[in-house]
Amino acid sequence: GIYVCAKCGHELFSSRAKYEHSSPWPAFTETLRGDSVAKRQERPGALKVTCGKCGNGLGHEFLNDGPKKGQSRF
């Protein structure tokens, strides 16, 4: 499936890029397209992620976090 922005419907992520994470929030390894999201540094090690079309807040990306190379997404 395709995850879209709840505010404007802009396509953000494919379910194929989703992986299990310790947080209750969904986590993805990549965006659907280059313009799917925008990111800006909010504090050291954390980026604020917003919809690339309307700017709706989507959460955070924590640097050096995510699945290890070769590790299954699930």
Q: Which CATH superfamily is domain 2-62 in?
A: Peptide methionine sulfoxide reductase. (2.170.150.20)
Residue 56 amino acid letter: N
* Predicted structure pTM score: 0.80
Q: Closest Cα to residue 6, out of 50, 45, 72?
A: 50
Average pLDDT of 61-65? 79
Which residue would you say has higher pLDDT here, 22 or 65?
22
Question: How far apart are the two ends of the chain, measured CA to CA in Å?
Answer: 16
**Is pLDDT at 62 greater than 90 in this prediction?**
no
The structural domains of the chain, with segments of one domain joined by +, span: 2-62
Average pLDDT of 43-63? 93
Alpha-carbon gap, residue 74 to 72, rounded angstroms: 5
pLDDT digits (tens, 9 = 90+) for 1-50: 999 999 999 999 999 998 887 778 888 889 999 999 999 999 998 999 99
32 and 40 Cβ atoms separated by less than 8 Å: no
Please give the pLDDT value at position 69. 63
